[in-house]
Amino acid sequence: MGLTPYIFILIFLILYCAMNFYVFLRMSALLSLKRNLIFYLAFLCGTFSYLFAAILESRFPGLFSRLIYIAAALWMGILFILFSLVIVYEILHLFIKFPPGKAGIVLLWISGVLTLYSLINASIVHVKTIRIKSDKVQAPLNFVQISDLHFGSIRTSSFLSKIMQKINALNPDAVFITGDLVDGPYHYKEEDFAPLRELNMPVFLVTGNHERYAGLDTVMRFLKKTPVQLLQNAVTSVKGVEIIGIDDADRKRQVEEILPTLKRNAAQFSILLYHRPVPGILKMAQKNGIDLVLCGHVHAGQIVPFNFIVSPFYRPVRGFHEYQGSFLNVLMGTGTWGPPMRLGSRSEIARIIIEKNPENSALLAPQANIK
């Protein structure tokens, strides 16, 4: 598992503990609740619920542990929303004095409405259509990108089947999975991956950090009977398009170091699959003659205000971008990590249509249409 995941868990627990304590402290003050033994027990349960549930689910899989895990994940999402609302209340309270009791009740009502909305919002998977013109292709090509399904305890095989049906309806020439197909050390079974067999076109996967957490050998054993092909620092070709897959790594210079070592065909339209949209990846791709980069990982923050928190580390956190003839698409994620909730982001699939550029014309500006 390595050192970095443990550091991540430690940092997560410290921040999660601070958020829980702040929300419990302020909401108890607003609602005039006593800070007794029950208060501190509730605070401790809230702080350690997700870590405990994740360990329980990985060690003792079953309906009970899965329900505990879902409840803990839901609390995480509710906490994030409450934390943001309390911060907004604190700012407004500097200028407008609200009655504490009524303010606390209003915050609970708003958090309930936003929780319900975010649950519904996360369950709807949108298809984003991107059209690119290039003189490196001779006929229109239709590709699909999915990313960050986090298939496991919450997003089960029924969710995976729903996504496969959407992909088949788009009838793509190939499918690209830019990491985090699986969620973590969940007790997967071979039949859980059966929906992937519904795809009858080439499917390429690059590793995300969660493939490493789950154990890549385990994941690949279950993918053997599916059309999914893992690209590990490798180059392949489909429909005359060069596909480059680079393994996920915590090192910021992973792509910069691996890409020059790969044997490539400069005449082909090239697509780079890498899990993380590290800062400068589009300029680096343009420098190396990459036409299109596909990333995921960031979920666009998934629940506001985390889009602002992740933006210093990954840029951009979402959307379709262009730099001197090279393109980048950062998918907001097809599934969700942790809470099955989205606020300020949405679950999506990207349909990427690459068409021949008209002769004797400059590269046309990219167009991204949301359907």
Question: Domain end: 65, 94, 122, which one?
Answer: 122
Q: Return the pLDDT at 277.
A: 96
Q: Both 50 and 144 in a single domain?
A: no
Of 356, 349, 253, 367, the residue nearest 294 (C-alpha): 349
Last residue of a domain, one of 122, 140, 164: 122
Q: 302 φ, ψ to 5°? A: 65, -55
Same domain flag for 111 and 64: yes
Cis peptide preceding 140, ω within 30 of 0: no
Shared domain for 227 and 110, answered yes or no, is: no
Number of domains in the chain: 2
Distance set, CA 75 to CA 48, 81, 316, 340 (Å): 11, 10, 28, 11
The residue among 348, 334, 329, 232 whose CA lies nearest residue 290 is: 329
Give the whole-angstrom CA distance, residue 310 versus residue 306: 6
pLDDT value at residue 30: 96
Same domain, yes or no: 103 and 90: yes
- Predicted TM-score (pTM) of the model is 0.92
Same domain, 244 and 359: yes
Residues 78 and 136 in one domain: no
**291/350 same-domain check:** yes
Given this model, what pLDDT does residue 4 score?
60
pLDDT digits (tens, 9 = 90+) for 318-355: 999 999 999 999 999 999 999 999 999 999 999 999 99
Residue 95 has what pLDDT?
A: 94
Of 96, 122, 148, which one is at a domain's C-terminal end? Answer: 122
Strand ranges in the chain using DSSP code E only, listed in sequence order = 125-134, 141-146, 174-178, 203-206, 228-230, 234-238, 241-245, 269-273, 292-295, 319-323, 326-330, 347-356, 367-370
Cα–Cα dist 272/276, whole Å: 11
Same domain, 276 and 157: yes
* Residue 114 and residue 140 in one domain: no
pLDDT tens string for the chain (371 positions)?
A: 344 667 777 888 999 999 999 999 999 999 999 999 999 999 999 999 999 999 999 889 899 999 999 999 999 999 999 999 999 999 999 999 999 999 999 999 999 999 999 999 999 999 999 999 999 999 999 999 999 999 999 999 999 999 999 999 999 999 999 999 999 888 899 999 999 999 999 999 999 999 998 899 999 999 999 999 999 999 999 999 999 999 999 888 999 999 999 999 999 999 999 999 999 999 999 999 999 999 999 999 999 888 888 888 898 999 999 999 999 999 999 999 999 999 999 999 999 999 998 764 444 444 444 44
Range of the domain at 278: 126-370
pLDDT at 5: 63
- The tokens for 7 are 């550091």
Q: With contact defined as beta carbons under 8 Å apart, do 268 and 237 qualify?
A: yes
Are 104 and 134 members of one domain? no
The pLDDT value recorded for residue 357 is 84
Q: Which two tokens stand for residue 333?
A: 């994620």
